[in-house]
Amino acid sequence: MVPCARFEMIEKIKNFLKGLSFRTGVVVLLLCIPFYILSFAQMAFPFLSAQAKGVLWIVLFGLAKTFQYGGITILGVEGVKRLKAKFGRKKNEE
């Protein structure tokens, strides 16, 4: 694939994700939490081989990162500011 074509495809994906709603971005962002939990919790299963644990970790951790970055892309800068304002501490309260 030509580097220019790859850049255009990435831009098309970014623009599609940015067109989604704030609520969709929050849902996608929250979906990364169960995948992070699963990616580390499966290490405690004694019945899985080391190779299976490695493959599961790569897949689950990759999905977690995909949901995380996808959600942040959907939200954009203004959406992240909106979430921080809602869940972050206010300096007045400290």
pLDDT tens digits for range 9-39: 888 888 887 778 888 888 988 999 999 999 9
CA distance 51 to 80: 37
Looking at the structure of the chain, the number of domains it has is 1
Give the H or E element holding residue 16: helix 3-18
The verdict on residue 94 lying in a domain is no
**Is 56 buried (19+), middle (13-18) or exposed (0-12) by CB count in 10 A?**
middle
The verdict on residue 92 lying in a domain is no
The structure's pTM equals 0.70
pLDDT tens digits for range 28-80: 889 999 999 999 888 888 898 989 899 999 999 999 999 998 888 888 878 87
The verdict on residue 51 lying in a domain is yes
Q: Which two tokens stand for residue 63?
A: 């999905």
The verdict on residue 93 lying in a domain is no
**Range(s) of the domain holding residue 26:** 3-87
